[in-house]
A and B are shown apart, each in its own frame.
Chain A
Amino acid sequence: MAYEKLLLKNAGRENSHTIDVSLKAGGYEALKKALKGMTPEALLEEVKASGLRGRGGAGFPTGMKWSFLPKTRDKPRYLCVNADESEPGTFKDRLLIERDPHLVLEGIILSSFAIDCHTAFFYIRGEFQKGCRIFEQAVAEAYQKGFLGKNILGSGYDLDVLVYRGAGAYICGEETALLESLEGKRGLPRIKPPFPAIVGLYGCPTIINNVETLANVPFIVERGAAWFAGIGRPKNTGPKLFCLSGHVKKPGVFEAPLGIPFLELLNEHAGGMLHPDRPLKAAVPGGSSMKILPANRCEVLLDFDSLAAAGTMLGSAGGMVMDSGTCMVGALLNLAEFYEHESCGQCTPCREGTGWFTKILHRLETGHGRKEDPDLLIDVARRVEGNTICPFGEAIAWPVQSYVAEFKSEFDDHVTKGACPFGGAAAKR
């Protein structure tokens, strides 16, 4: 099925990143509407009513998050935009930043207006050099046109947007590590509570939102909460960008309403499996840190609640598809190496557990596994899960638990054969 493009409506145009193209396509119309006719409270209520849920991974209702800000105004409030997109298999924010920065920026301005914030920080992943250049240019253009700075469009509302580049650590996408990094410190997650809405950047109330989340706000303003809530499924509303990579013919970012069937995404949008003779073996519908689904359980709808019911999560919608030629031990080893490398080292279970996973998996993949290793992996993962400062622990514990549990016989095969039945490519890299 084809769907109306909203988030990507502008992304395919030539020079879509420039303000002129954006304005021609209706950019900043929502901002004009809001600043002329809406109070911040009304805008916040509109976002609440739309049912918009965070697109960064957890799916927390955006309007509710905003309403956690303290009512007092003794400190400034900050909006931090999380553009540290680093999850393996996730590349949707990069597309928005590079192809339609003004949509993102309009969302930032509207959201800042709604939460009465006058300084917004755009924390962009260090590796996104091109995106950063484009976004900085977009910010400069917006200042020129009076969409940023003092007295925006004569409304009396002031806002500055500051662009900060990260230094390439995955952990800085965790919202409190992002705040530490913004403050110039080592990117280590903070203990919660207090939550950032109460004590955030520089000790001030702070809202942290994902790029895609904020890109939805202009549409909510333009067409209304009721229209937005009509897209997708109940409690899982609005358009969504889905990434799909791996063994598919046409990997990429696809826009569809929340709740699109995974197999529709795979077969109609991504062109189906890459090799006709290699059927689907497993898929991670949500992103590398989510639980894996074997092929026979891939008939799922891609929204927050449906995937939770299926025992996994939508996460950042960074779907990965694996065909029958994939070694699951190797796939997990590949993932474990990433998480070992990216663990910040602050708290014990993650610091020590991530390395342990890699070592066990490496032994299994190279044919030195012991028969107790698969169970040990699950047990160690159980001891990491829930015991860490930030969700990074789960981000590796869940894949380990699900890969081993769903493909136990394949892990056992590695032990009994004393070699990887697929050639052990993952361990040779």
Chain B
Amino acid sequence: MPEPTPPAPPAPAAATAAPPPELPATGPDEVALLIDDKPVVVKKGTTVLQAAERLGIVVPHYCYHPGLSVAGNCRMCFVEIEKMPKLQIGCATPATQGMVVRTANTRVKSARESIMEFLLINHPLDCPICDQAGECRLQQYAAAYGRGESRFVEEKIHNDKGVPIGPRVVFDGERCIKCTRCIRFCDEVSKTHELGLFERGGHAIIGTFPGKSLDNNYSGNTVDICPVGALTWKPFRFRARVWFLRNVPSVCIGCARGCNVELGTFDHRIRRITPRNNPEVNGWWMCDLGRQTYEPLDGRPRLEQPAARGAIAAGPPGGAAAPAIPVTAGVTPGEALDRAAALLRETAARHGAASLAAIVSARLTLEDLFMARKALQQAGIGRVVVPPHESGEDDPLLLRRDRTPNARGAEIVGLGRPDAAATARLAADVKAGTVKGLVVVGEDPAGDGLLEAPSLSALEALVVIDAWRTPTAAAAHVALPATGPYEADGVAVNFQGRAQLARRGVPAPGLAEPSWRWLRELGRRFGLAGSWNTASAVFDEAAAAHPPLASLSHRKLGANGHPIVFAEAAPGGGAPAPGTEAREP
């Protein structure tokens, strides 16, 4: 859940209260008020609920969400305001100068208890089989504010259940409390307008408009903001209890935005990815593609052991395909690295250093890219290209056309930005036979259609470092298993120029290591000095070498990242993502 569990409500103010404290002085755009006898100064236009949050006072609520307009329909956030006869909803009442607010007296508690009772009379109370259990507002508030037993002995209202309201979201009409957060999200944030409220009274039900399906790239956010178990995320349904999840703060690898996320892991597998609020990057949201970026870890064939095949002399120079020796286990990492170094060395000796080149991926971490540059330089490989991975256009909300998370990181460490033309030239040179030795890190030129099988087999040295058992890795003389997404700590620099630390959520299989480790070992075989043993040590070295990263460290990047300073202004600047600003009430 993006928002914290509320603690138990504070004790009511003592009947014999001391005279209320004096209100502090305010600036021209500010108001001072008292909430539960505590003074607070807030900007004009701040709501009572937000002002209470500033004091750490929890005002329970369902329908209010800081990223959406105020609906005021759940009636849970009632507070008492002096001189107002009725209780007021905190989410829609602006704080005014001298206002005296009570959030926990008997009257407010009774109102909350009433709302809880109303919300539960027609609720199925199916927590034991509900995926929301453990992060459900109804559960939390029932425990904190409910009456504990029901006075409702009637037949509950029945409604549609298990409705595939969209390809990735399932709707349960009985659990729904009609807070309309999902409707407002689709109207105001994704602006796709699929959802509406239909029918009336107790039979009111959320649904899609005729002919529509909740099928937009941001549909998963409706699940996140659903305060109850009415909307569930299809890939996560019945997969894990949320209280068993280990939630790791990390960064999405799906595009150049780098949405801040939480990796929900259980039993060494990622079970879901949910957004983590960062107003500078993604607000409260993330896209559905990003939520599914862990899925290859569950199914795509991995490289798990180092493999080496053939020998340098096995194929006639520039000739026919090398014999298809299956990738074999039983090669130690050291033997594989020795073989890789020997192949590269011999190819250089035979055709000159200019016959060597490398393809390095902007999907790698900054640490990988930094070490790639260092090791490849050390090995005398001067020609390094970074292929672009683009799709469609930047969308108005989050998803970027650039689907690599670290293009700007590649630029910072001196590998240059992804360059389609340079990549194409390299592919042509491989085909023409002028490039004889190739190191590929984190890319699959064969699978991506960049290099064809005959060109690959004509290479005299093909060293691949990758997480996946790709066509390129299958054709390699030496293949080294790398960690996949979310399997290693590392920094990525997003399109705004913000460095963010992505944390490892799950262990890597087999002998997979971060690419920077393989590159370090390869570099050592060419005389690379240095003993970096952690990603953070590699980052420190990179920070020392590249001025935009100066003074940064993994520790300093923390959970929310840090903007870095370029010589020239970064495109997009540090402006918040569109649609992610907190709304003024």
Chain A interface residues (CB < 8 Å from chain B)? 169, 186, 191, 340-356, 359-360, 363, 370, 376, 383, 386-389
- Partner of B157 from the list A169, A346, A349, A355 (CB cut-off 8 Å) is A355
- In the complex the two chains form, is B74's CB within 8 Å of A356's CB? no
By a CB distance below 8 angstroms, the chain B residues around A389 are: 72-73, 75
- Partner of B87 from the list A186, A351, A355, A386 (CB cut-off 8 Å) is A386
- In the complex the two chains form, is A348's CB within 8 Å of B154's CB? no
Q: Which of B143-197 contact A (CB under 8 A)?
A: 151-155, 157, 177-178, 196-197
Asked whether B555 is an interface residue with its Cβ less than 8 Å from the other chain, the reply is: no
- In the complex the two chains form, is B202's CB within 8 Å of A348's CB? no
Q: Can you name 8 extra interface pairs (CB under 8 A) apart from A347-B72, A352-B202, A356-B118?
A: A340-B201, A341-B201, A342-B201, A345-B204, A348-B177, A383-B111, A386-B86, A387-B87
Chain B interface residues (CB < 8 Å from chain A)? 70, 72-76, 78, 86-87, 89, 92, 110-111, 114-115, 117-119, 121-122, 151-155, 157, 177-178, 196-197, 199-204
Q: List 26 A-B contacts (CB under 8 A).
A: A186-B197, A191-B70, A191-B72, A341-B201, A343-B201, A343-B202, A344-B201, A344-B204, A345-B201, A348-B76, A348-B118, A348-B178, A349-B114, A349-B115, A351-B118, A351-B202, A352-B118, A352-B121, A352-B122, A352-B202, A354-B201, A355-B157, A359-B154, A383-B110, A383-B114, A388-B75
- In the complex the two chains form, is A341's CB within 8 Å of B157's CB? no
User: Considering residues B75, B200, B203, B204, which has the most beta carbons from chain A within 10 angstroms of its beta carbon?
Assistant: B200
By a CB distance below 8 angstroms, the chain A residues around B117 are: 383
- Partner of B154 from the list A191, A349, A350, A360 (CB cut-off 8 Å) is A360
**Complex: how many Å from CA A352 to CA B73?**
12
**Complex: how many Å from CA A165 to CA B155?**
37
**Complex: how many Å from CA A386 to CA B84?**
12
- In the complex the two chains form, is A345's CB within 8 Å of B199's CB? yes
By a CB distance below 8 angstroms, the chain A residues around B153 are: 370
Chain A, residue nearest B180 (CB): A346
**Complex: how many Å from CA A169 to CA B200?**
10
**Complex: how many Å from CA A222 to CA B504?**
83
> Distance (Å) between the CB of A380 and the closest chain B CB?
8
- In the complex the two chains form, is A387's CB within 8 Å of B114's CB? yes
- In the complex the two chains form, is B178's CB within 8 Å of A387's CB? no
A interface secondary structure, majority: helix
- In the complex the two chains form, is A345's CB within 8 Å of B118's CB? no
By a CB distance below 8 angstroms, the chain B residues around A344 are: 200-201, 204
> Distance (Å) between the CB of A141 and the closest chain B CB?
37
- In the complex the two chains form, is B200's CB within 8 Å of A345's CB? yes
**Complex: how many Å from CA A60 to CA B188?**
36
Chain A, residue nearest B86 (CB): A386
- In the complex the two chains form, is B78's CB within 8 Å of A387's CB? yes
Chain A, residue nearest B117 (CB): A383
By a CB distance below 8 angstroms, the chain B residues around A356 are: 118, 121, 152, 154
- In the complex the two chains form, is B157's CB within 8 Å of A348's CB? no
> Distance (Å) between the CB of A365 and the closest chain B CB?
14
- In the complex the two chains form, is A343's CB within 8 Å of B200's CB? yes
- In the complex the two chains form, is A348's CB within 8 Å of B201's CB? no
- In the complex the two chains form, is A383's CB within 8 Å of B201's CB? no
- In the complex the two chains form, is B202's CB within 8 Å of A354's CB? yes
By a CB distance below 8 angstroms, the chain A residues around B151 are: 376
- In the complex the two chains form, is B74's CB within 8 Å of A348's CB? yes
Chain B, residue nearest A360 (CB): B154
- In the complex the two chains form, is A353's CB within 8 Å of B118's CB? yes
By a CB distance below 8 angstroms, the chain B residues around A387 are: 75, 78, 87, 111, 114-115
By a CB distance below 8 angstroms, the chain A residues around B74 are: 347-348
User: Considering residues A341, A343, A344, A347, which has the most beta carbons from chain B within 10 angstroms of its beta carbon?
Assistant: A347
**Complex: how many Å from CA A138 to CA B59?**
53
Chain A, residue nearest B179 (CB): A348
By a CB distance below 8 angstroms, the chain A residues around B119 are: 348, 352
**Complex: how many Å from CA A376 to CA B70?**
32
- In the complex the two chains form, is A359's CB within 8 Å of B118's CB? no
- In the complex the two chains form, is A355's CB within 8 Å of B75's CB? no
> Distance (Å) between the CB of A363 and the closest chain B CB?
8
Chain B, residue nearest A346 (CB): B73
Chain A, residue nearest B74 (CB): A348
By a CB distance below 8 angstroms, the chain A residues around B78 are: 387
User: Considering residues A343, A351, A352, A353, which has the most beta carbons from chain B within 10 angstroms of its beta carbon?
Assistant: A352
By a CB distance below 8 angstroms, the chain B residues around A355 are: 122, 157, 201-202
> Distance (Å) between the CB of A212 and the closest chain B CB?
27
> Distance (Å) between the CB of B352 and the closest chain A CB?
73
**Given A191-B70, A348-B73, A348-B75, A342–B118 Cβ distance below 8 Å?**
no
**Complex: how many Å from CA A389 to CA B111?**
14
Chain A, residue nearest B62 (CB): A348
By a CB distance below 8 angstroms, the chain B residues around A186 are: 196-197
User: Considering residues B114, B151, B152, B201, which has the most beta carbons from chain A within 10 angstroms of its beta carbon?
Assistant: B201
User: Considering residues B76, B78, B152, B199, which has the most beta carbons from chain A within 10 angstroms of its beta carbon?
Assistant: B152
By a CB distance below 8 angstroms, the chain A residues around B87 are: 386-387
By a CB distance below 8 angstroms, the chain A residues around B118 are: 348-349, 351-353, 356, 383
By a CB distance below 8 angstroms, the chain A residues around B204 are: 344-346, 351
